[in-house]
Structure formats: C-alpha cells, structure tokens
Structure 1
Amino acid sequence: MGEGDPGPAARLADRRLAGSTGRPEGRRGRGATANPAGRYEAAEREAFDDGWESDAPAPLRTEVRPERTASVITRNTSPDIPFDRSLNPYRGCEHGCIYCYARPTHAYLGLSPGLDFESRLFTKPDAARLLARELGARGYRPETIALGTATDPYQPIEREHRLTRAVLEVLAEARHPVGLTTKSDLVLRDLDLLAGMAERNLILVAISLPTLDPRLSRRLDPRAPRPDRRLAAMRTLSDAGVPVMVNVSPIIPGLTDHEIEGLLEAARAHGASRIGHALLRLPGEVKDLVADWFAEHYPERRERALALLRQARGGQENDSRFTHRFRGEGPYAEMIGQRVRLAGRRLGYEFGRMALNTEDFRPPGAQLDLF
C-alpha cells in the first residue's frame, strides 16, 4: 500500500455521496455546497428533495484517521514551481477553501473532493521520523522544502496533533531551509523555532490572503482565521525577524480582483516584504464545486466571473499547461499581472521566493558523531 492509499476500509466506509445537482448538501461552516462522487467511482448518486426532509442537514463532523506512508518528501520537476520538493503532514484540509486546487486528490482515496475533502482528514503521524531518515540518507543534498503546498500545515487539527511542529523541529535541528505556506495565525505558536531559523536565513513564511472582506472570507475559506488575524500574524512574524510573503491567491475574477491594491497596502503595513500571486484555478472537480458555490452565494456574479476566467484560460475555465496555469494569458490576465507589479513596486515589495541558506545543513543527529 503506497503513499496516498489509506486502505480499502477508509475508501469504502461511510461514503456520504451526493451529486452536484439537485438540492445542495451544504453544511454550516463548510466551504463546499455538495459532496459529489469522485471521478474514479463506478456509481454516482444524485440528491433530490422528496418532501420528507424539511430541516437543515445536521452539522458535519470532522473525522481524522492516521495514514502510514513510506516517505514524506514529495519530488516534482515542474518548470513553473520554484521548489523541487515538498511535504504535507495532512491530507484534506478543514479550512474548507472552496477554490483549493488540491481537492481533486481526495478522489484518489475513493472520497469526494467536496465535503469529504474538508471533513474526512488524514494525518501522517510518522512524518517527523520519516523526514529525519530521508534527510540523513547518504547523498542527500539540501534544497528548500515547501511545507504546506497541498493542505494547510496549520489547519485546526494541528493544535492537537502537532505534526507541523515536529517537522519544523527536525528541519531546525538539521539547519534545512523551508518555505512555509499557511492561512492560519496558529503559525505564531511556533515562533520560537521560526525566529531561530530566520537568524540563519532558513525560513520564509507565506500567508495566503485572497480578500480583506471578513464576510466573503467566511464563505471562501470558512474555517480559516479572519483576514485581520492573518495580518496581525504577519506583523508578529516580521517583528520577530521572520521574512513574510503575502500570497494574493487566488485572485477570483469579478469577486476579489478589485482588492489587489488595497490588500497589498494592508499586508505591507503589517510587515510583509515579498509578493506571490495566482489566478483562480479550476482543476478536476473544483470547476463544478466553484460553480455551485457561486450559485449558492453570489448567483448574480457567477457568469461574469467564469467569463473573465475563460478569457484568461484560452476560452476554457481551466488551463493546466506549465507556465500558464498560475497566471493565465490574454488581456485580463495581463492586466492583473500589471496591477500586482505596479502596486508591488510602489510599495517596495520584493517578488517571488527568496534564496535560503543551504550551506549550514547537517543531517539530523550528525552532532552525535562527535562523541
């Protein structure tokens, strides 16, 4: 059983499947409005109102299960990603961001990219031990590890499981560079580790902030901290000497694109020194989930948002080609990029990832060799 396969019991147990049509199966405090079957399922169920259920559906509980893996560092050779290795201590994400491009990965587990993705979560309890083993392997060469590329390393269950903290302790001991991406001010819990790593130029923390509007944020990423708390986290990190990037991502046409300049000004005032940005992506099942979300929350904006996105995606709603998938192309995408660049230069930002220190690396436990 390889990484990403929690076993047949987890794939088959308690599948709350409903089609993306019919009455939405949304839950209060969740991002997705439905729980459609994954694309690899042999059968699909469709929800409909038979007149017997008039009450709102019961709150959806979060389920957490352990996943045993043989390794935790994932490698990539993508030409448009500025790192070649990443680590995610969790699968699925309770933040429930409706636009999350990682949602389709739950289909590989026999689960739905909809509500299952944000309520049926998997931990990697051996992450720190496996990481230490991989960093200590003969011939390992350090380059920045991206932490939190698919799911947020500081999602709510991190308070209990502390896997991200354990991973950071291994990286700090090894003096290994890491680029950390999160939406959560829980990152401040580990300020002691982050500040120490910053002194050696081993850390960059990126805070994702697609909107400053708290009402919109509750709908876009319902279980992530409010925008003001993310800004406050930027300030605390920066004051402690930890370099901070603001990730203006995703930029959603017709919904958040008007906020670019104001958002960059707010983040700069709170200590962010670098910018990252990406246009909304709709891979796999995310396309229908986002369309349903618009129909539920902003029906009057749905067609305009998708039309603008198609302008930037070669007439389609998603373009997976390297060098195109993050920024798009055409007049609308070029305008977005120009606005980010002009505002960033005016405010004194640096662009993109910073070069981190790889010279001080020492395999975990290497200091014991002195005795």
Structure 2
Amino acid sequence: MSAHQNKYIKGRGAQINPDNHFSKTSKGADFDDLDPAEEEVGETKFIEVFPKSIVNKVGSPDIPMYYSMNPYQGCEHGCIYCYARPTHEYWGYSAGIDFERVVLVKKNAPELLRATLSKKKWDVHTIGLSGNTDCYQPIERKYGITRKLLEVCLEFRQPVSIITKNALIARDIDLLQELASLNLTAVSISLTTLKEELRRVLEPRTATSKRKLQIIEQLSQAGIPINVMLAPVIPALNDDEIFSVAKQVSEHGARTMHYQIVRLNGPNEAIFTDWVQQNFPDRADKVLNQLKEMYGGSVSSSRFKERMTGGGVLGTNIRRQFELARKRFSLNESFPKLRTDLFEVPNNQLRLF
C-alpha cells in the first residue's frame, strides 16, 4: 500500500510513503521500538545508532569524490527531489515521508573516523562530507557530530570537502578557515532557486535563498573556496533561473558553479509525481514530459554522466545556457585540488597501533 495524506503536510516535501520494496527485510532489534506507520506524520523521530564504519569508498565515475562520510541517515530538510531517499529503504523505512521524519544519528562517527585515519593502510584522498544526506541538517545543532568530524580532519590534516544547503555551516567557520589555509577544504553550497515560494515547497526545511547567498559571501570572505550547485535543475520549475542564480552567486563571492538535472530514481518517481501534481497542477504534465524527453522516455537514467545532465534538445539547451552563464559571470575558476601530502597521524594516536 501507499499511505496518502488527505491534508497537505506543510513543512514536509514528500506527501506519501511508498512501500519499501525491501519490505521483507527486518529492521533488526535496534528499531523494534518504532513503527513509522504509527508515528505522527508531522513529528521527527531521531534514533541514535552505532555503525561499524563511517567512511565509504565511492565507485561512481561521475561523482567527483573518492570517499564519502555521512553522520546522519535520513534528512529533515525534506527536499522532494533528493536522490538519497531510496537509501532509507535499506534501513527498513519508506523513501517518502519516513525519509524526512525518521533520522538515524551516527553518534560514534567521530570515533570511527579517528580509528580509520589511524590505520597504517589508510589511503589518503579527500573525504566528501556529505555524499548522501546533509551533514548540517537541523539536528546537527544539537549533536554537533559534523563539527567533531571536522576537528578530527584538522588534527590529522585530512582533506575534506563539504556540500550543504543549511546556514548552520557558519557555526564552523573557524575550523573551515583553518583547514582552508592549509588547502584542506572547499565547500559547495546547494542553491536550487531564488524564488522563495518555490523553495518553501521544494525543500521546505532548508535555509532561505537569501540566507544561502549570505553564507556564500560569509564563507568566501573568510577565504574558504566556494562552489555553488544549482541542483537539481527541474524543467518548467527552475530552469529559467540559470542566469539569475549565476549573477547572484558571483556577486556574493562564489568561484565556480555547476548543475545537475533532477533524476527521479526508484521510488522518487512516485514521490515527485505526487508532489508536483499537488503543488503545480497547471504544469505537472509539462515537467514530467520534459524530463522524459531528456531521459529517452523515462524520468531518470542510470547511465553515468547522462543521469546528471540529461540529453536531447532540452538537455543540450540547459548545458549551453550554463556554459554561457559561467563565462558571463566569471564562474569558471578552477576549484582547488585539496592537498594530501600534509596528512599525519598525531603522536597521541600511536597507542592505537
């Protein structure tokens, strides 16, 4: 079954809970106390978990990171388009509303990172924080796990890149500035739209568009390299903002800008379709049909590179607009390659060997 709410849930992206196609998979004893179907849909449940590892090697050739690290699973931001939604199914939950209201907190992440970096066989490459859900989502204010991870990276001189759409990153400017002075960090800020009425339904619990621009400026002035991700570009919703976003982020200090086309993998197709039909009934068919045009009759593609940029006439047009906007607003600067030669295991870690 797919649970559909009769009343639109403000402050949430997904409005349905599609069945988990791993429904026969047990959640395990750690989750026996929680049945998402019995929870109030407007509340968020946070569950502390203690995984055995925190750093994952990334094998996708079109994702520019060697390792990823995610202190949280699930994300309260509620971005309707989030490609990470299907990963929630592996934990026994739905990719829909559950992804936003059941967040797993990896409380032992800093200890795991320290142990990983202390291993003799550690192969030093940049770690992406986060590669899945936002490391600065609202609950980070309480737990501070991301800040602790950055402290470990600074201690080991471990290069770390960050992508976020939350203004909470400003809390850690002191650490980021020190890392940046050693060429050990760079930050990508995700800015999907300048239209606040669109942002409120597209990604309801993220920082406002105005606040994101302020963060870009604040980090840039602190000497931290800033890239902006116009991601995702959604035809008939925000594809008309390429030049306006480029102009604004350039004026606020961004060095580079990239984009991705929305990709509705797995259950995301049903979740997004329901959302766009409810919020934009006048253009829902246009949005979905233009996506299908870019992806050869589907709303997504699993082919590397194409799944990020789409194809066809519309995909080509968006790419050309983007190239022109980057050139016009000086957003073609090379993003720094972070240093790996400074890495060292602190002396107080020798006891771990």
TM-score, normalised relative to structure 2: 0.92
1:273 equivalent to 2:273? Answer no
> Which residue, 180, 190, 206 being the options, matches 2:188?
206
Which residue of the partner structure matches residue 162 of structure 2? Answer: 180
- Any idea what SS the aligned residue of 2:228 has? strand
Alignment of 1:154-193 (within 5 A): 154-193=136-175
Q: Is the 8 Å Cα contact of residues 206 and 247 (structure 1) preserved in structure 2?
A: yes
1:19 equivalent to 2:8? Answer no
Alpha-carbon separation, structure 2, partners of 1:352 and 1:136: 31
Q: CA deviation at 1:91?
A: 0.2
1:102 equivalent to 2:90? Answer no
> Which residue, 235, 243, 246 being the options, matches 1:261?
243
Q: CA deviation at 1:58?
A: 6.4
Structure 2 unaligned segments of length 5 or more: list them.
26-38
1:93 equivalent to 2:98? Answer no
Q: Which deviations, in whole Å up to 9, do the C-alpha atoms of 1:270-308 show, x marking residues without a partner? A: 111111210001001110110000111001111111111
Q: CA RMSD in A?
A: 1.9
1:366 equivalent to 2:341? Answer no
> Which residue, 192, 206, 211 being the options, matches 1:229?
211
Q: Is the 8 Å Cα contact of residues 26 and 32 (structure 1) preserved in structure 2?
A: no
Give the stretch that moved more between structures: 78-87 or 243-252. 78-87
Alpha-carbon separation, structure 1, partners of 2:219 and 2:127: 20
CA change 1:303–1:149 in 2 (3 A) is same
Alpha-carbon separation, structure 1, partners of 2:333 and 2:190: 15
Q: Percent identity?
A: 38
Alpha-carbon separation, structure 1, partners of 2:334 and 2:48: 34
- Any idea what SS the aligned residue of 1:179 has? strand
- Any idea what SS the aligned residue of 2:240 has? helix
Alpha-carbon separation, structure 1, partners of 2:317 and 2:70: 33
CA change 1:93–1:23 in 2 (3 A) is closer
Q: CA deviation at 1:37?
A: 1.8
Q: CA deviation at 1:132?
A: 0.7
Alpha-carbon separation, structure 2, partners of 1:78 and 1:167: 24
Alpha-carbon separation, structure 2, partners of 1:98 and 1:220: 6
Alpha-carbon separation, structure 2, partners of 1:72 and 1:286: 25
Q: Which deviations, in whole Å up to 9, do the C-alpha atoms of 1:224-267 show, x marking residues without a partner? A: 01000000000000000001111000000110000011001101
Which residue of the partner structure matches residue 32 of structure 2? Answer: none
CA change 1:128–1:23 in 2 (3 A) is closer
Q: CA deviation at 1:149?
A: 1.5
Q: How many residues align?
A: 338
CA change 1:25–1:140 in 2 (3 A) is farther
> Which residue, 265, 281, 284 being the options, matches 1:302?
284
Q: CA deviation at 1:366?
A: 3.2
Q: Which deviations, in whole Å up to 9, do the C-alpha atoms of 1:96-121 show, x marking residues without a partner? A: 00000100111111111111100100
Alpha-carbon separation, structure 2, partners of 1:63 and 1:111: 12
Q: Which deviations, in whole Å up to 9, do the C-alpha atoms of 1:174-205 show, x marking residues without a partner? A: 11111100001100000000000110111111
Alignment of 1:304-319 (within 5 A): 304-319=286-301
Q: Is the 8 Å Cα contact of residues 185 and 230 (structure 1) preserved in structure 2?
A: yes
Structure 1 letter corresponding to 2:50: R
Which residue of the partner structure matches residue 147 of structure 1? Answer: 129
Structure 2 letter corresponding to 1:295: Q
Q: CA deviation at 1:368?
A: 6.5
Structure 1 unaligned segments of length 5 or more: list them.
1-17, 44-56
- Any idea what SS the aligned residue of 1:326 has? helix
- Any idea what SS the aligned residue of 1:258 has? coil
> Which residue, 39, 60, 72 being the options, matches 2:42?
60
Q: CA deviation at 1:312?
A: 1.0
- Any idea what SS the aligned residue of 2:307 has? coil
Alpha-carbon separation, structure 2, partners of 1:289 and 1:77: 27
